[in-house]
Amino acid sequence: MKQIVTGLILFLLTIGNTLSAQDQNFNKSWLFFNDKAEGAEKVQFDDSSWRKLDLPHDWAIEGPFDSKYNARCGGLPFHGIGWYRKHFLIPESAKGKVVRIEFEGAMYDAYVWVNGKLVGNHPYGYIGFEFDISQYLNYGQDNIIAVRLTPQDLSSRWYPGAGIYRNTWLKIDEAVHVAHWGTYITTPTVTDQKATVQNETTIENKNNQEATITVIQEYFSPEGKSVGKTEETMTIPAHSSKVSGTWCNIKEPKRWDLATPHLYRAVTSIEQNGKILDSYQTRFGIRHISYNKDGFYLNGRKIRFNGVCLHHDNGALGAAVYRRADERKLQIMKDMGVNAIRTSHNPPSKELLELCDEMGLLVQDEAFDVWSMPKVPNGYNVFFNEWAERDIKDMVKRDRNHPSIVMWSIGNEILEQKDKKYGWKTAKMLNDYVKEMDKTRPTTAGFNHYSGPYDNNMAQQVDIAGMNYKPTKYGEVRDNYPNLPIYGSETSSCTSSRGVYHLPIEKYKTHESLHVSSYDLIGPPWAYPPDIEFHFQEQYPHSMGEFIWTGFDYLGEPTPYGGKDNSTNGYWNGDWPVHSSYFGAVDLCGFPKDRFFLYQSQWTSKPMIHLLPHWNWKGMEGQNIPVYCYTNCDEAELFLNGKSMGKKVKGKDLTELKVDFLRYEPKTFMSKYRLSWDVPYAAGELKVVGYKNGQAVQEKIIHTAGKPAKISLSVDRKNIDASGTDLAYVTVRIEDKNGNLCPTADNQIFFKLRGAGSLIAVDNGNQASLESFQANHRKAFSGMALAIIKSTETAGNIQLTATSKGLKSAKVVIISK
């Protein structure tokens, strides 16, 4: 039997975080129709004209953009009716077994039929679900599954996506098997000498008689070596479940940590009379976390959250899950110095959590943006009373084996904060639900109505109080609640458009260009420049850090344009065509804005230096241009055409910022986090040199660009997998004849692809562009654009060619293996 289990581990290493060996990917060959389809759940329904596609699928991202849709939700058609059908064969040999269908995410209010019989309903689009379909199947014959989704208008405050946008699985198990999300692995003792691994596994028996089985737990090191094994024999009554609880000591464990995210695997095997009935893999990490009033500790070491809030969409790809898209997003965040992710404001994809496990990122897993009091009329509040318990428990059950998760959030900016009578009771209820499922991590929530949740006994119901946009109150909360841990659960909310600079520097509400200056000081009334948060985090070291709003731009919520947050009167189309956010330190394409480097200068130690703005200001010769430098070096010296403009010392030479936000009286802030010069404009070369300990260690040069002359293409990876789901991201630059980026270029670029791939999306990061993400062309924005290529299941070369009138074309070759 040991040989069987060892063989299984090789297979299991290639699949998800918690899956059974019998699980089959169910994404291929679906049929889709986006409208009413009377009787589409019935077997005899004629679906021959329906569109053929593979999952995951987000129908809304296909567009078109239209002002009849809500700019608050991306200006895209995410609501309406969507039908999916699939014909599939179940072998005769599966009769008598348990057959289940799992949906990792369907947006939303999913109804599922098999062979014309209603199997079940699941409203919440952000958490997965499964149904036992055994009794509805025709074994050895054709079967039909039908899924109807009816996402509603005014159901979200941002772009939610639409469709079956995460993976699906078909599971064929023996009657005795590991339950859905059935393992719960904790490490109650962790030392350098040993770790105690505790494993509670729920086993289901769907037989008509009791079953006596042996549950075998075998543990494998990060290198794949067996490092421990337990066995437990148990009897499970008919049509019931039972928990197998065992523990195992692992010698000299390799701890999961930020720099060393070591991952172990448990293989749970169920044996009966020498036969393996089920084998189930769980990946986990050995690590210790703790919190107190003075901070967060990982493996005994104090860590501050250099965190970002992330929505679940991936820009031009919409909500559809692609592992590579999430991987790239997280890689870019890590380059910025990020060590923590807040999944704003809903449970994320399984893929994102797996990647955080692998990459050493801490996660706050968030359940809800709304409880029973609505922010928009058709939000989750419609389902909350009936579904909240199941959904939040399912979130914890699904995700509790991920070592990256260090907090459970029960909600964000909940309107019940103002409800003195019932708000705290709901918070306690949700907190208790979480604790039923997992007691090893603290609970939290993002509170923005200071001091309401503290005065109304709501903040006291969670272990850690998150504070949204209240850096000036960190000290006050410490004085009034000395034992309550706190952190900035949302901070800054600074807005900007990549590569756009408005002069003179002003603190304005909106700009006629429909863009926002990238001098990094503009934001809505509650918002403030990142420097303010840096300052107060330093002043109050008991705060556990911050999660900035946001790491990436996302679809919808185009603040400061369009409307007011939390308003329930509907549409944000007053500044159409803006339809995506300006909040990100990175734009919708994944191209860093200047703010990316401001955070990098505070959150990283490897010498870096960044310079802004661009240096193309024809017609402004001799006029002063504000020049900013973001660096983690000790000093920086600026040169214009070889002439020194002076050396500045970080922390000593301050930059005056214009500020105006709630609960802060001064209208200026003297920032020690930016260096600045006023430079009379002259075309040529602007260079900054960074010094550490008196030695030049970094430099950044910006040239005045000439006329656009050519296209330059670069790809994030030259080799991708011929899996049919892997992606390559191609960055497009408009350059002058010398290779300098043309910072204001907006040339129309046309793409042509040949070979073993397809062009699935284009973008440019322009929040006000109505160009289709699905087209084969795109205008440059601030001199840049993006093309996303997906592999096929056939290996071979993929060639992308980019052309534009009057410019030298370019091509790039990607190898799909």
Note the residue count of the chain.
817
Contacting residues for 390 by C-beta, under 8 A, at least 6 apart: none
Residue environment code for 560-576, b if the CB has 16+ CB neighbours within 10 A, otherwise e: bbbbeeeeeeebbbebb
Are 289 and 441 within 8 A, CB to CB? Answer: yes
How far apart CA 3 and CA 314 sit, in angstroms, is 42
Q: Which amino acid is at 85?
A: R
**Counting Cβ atoms within 10 Å, is residue 606 exposed (0-12), middle (13-18) or buried (19+)?**
exposed
The pair of three-digit structure tokens given for residue 407, joined into one six-digit string: 């907090």
How far apart CA 87 and CA 95 sit, in angstroms, is 18
Dihedral, CA atoms, 424, 426, 428, 430, nearest 10 degrees? -150
- Cis peptide leading into residue 613 (ω within 30°): yes
Are 608 and 669 within 8 A, CB to CB? Answer: no
Are 791 and 539 within 8 A, CB to CB? Answer: no
Contacting residues for 108 by C-beta, under 8 A, at least 6 apart: 123, 124, 125, 149, 150, 151, 155, 160
How far apart CA 241 and CA 320 sit, in angstroms, is 34
User: Which residue stretches of 592-633 are H helix?
Assistant: 594-603
| Residue listed under structure tokens 């699904």 | 398
How far apart CA 733 and CA 765 sit, in angstroms, is 13
Q: Which residues on neighbouring strands pair with residue 802, listed in sequence order?
A: 751, 810
| Residue listed under structure tokens 């009091």 | 373
Are 711 and 809 within 8 A, CB to CB? Answer: yes
Q: Is the dihedral of CA 731, 735, 741, 746 positive or negative?
A: negative
List residues with catalytic annotation: 413, 490
Are 446 and 427 within 8 A, CB to CB? Answer: no
How far apart CA 384 and CA 21 sit, in angstroms, is 35
Query: Coil, strand or helix: which one is 802?
Result: strand
Phi, psi of 447 (to 5 degrees): -105, 130
Largest CA distance in the chain: 90
How far apart CA 803 and CA 753 sit, in angstroms, is 12
The pair of three-digit structure tokens given for residue 491, joined into one six-digit string: 């901070």
Closest-CA residue to 405 (of 361, 368, 439): 361
Are 462 and 414 within 8 A, CB to CB? Answer: no
Residue environment code for 670-684, b if the CB has 16+ CB neighbours within 10 A, otherwise e: ebbbbbbbebebbee
**Counting Cβ atoms within 10 Å, is residue 607 exposed (0-12), middle (13-18) or buried (19+)?**
middle
The pair of three-digit structure tokens given for residue 171, joined into one six-digit string: 């599971």
Q: Which amino acid is at 86?
A: K
| Residue listed under structure tokens 């084998």 | 279
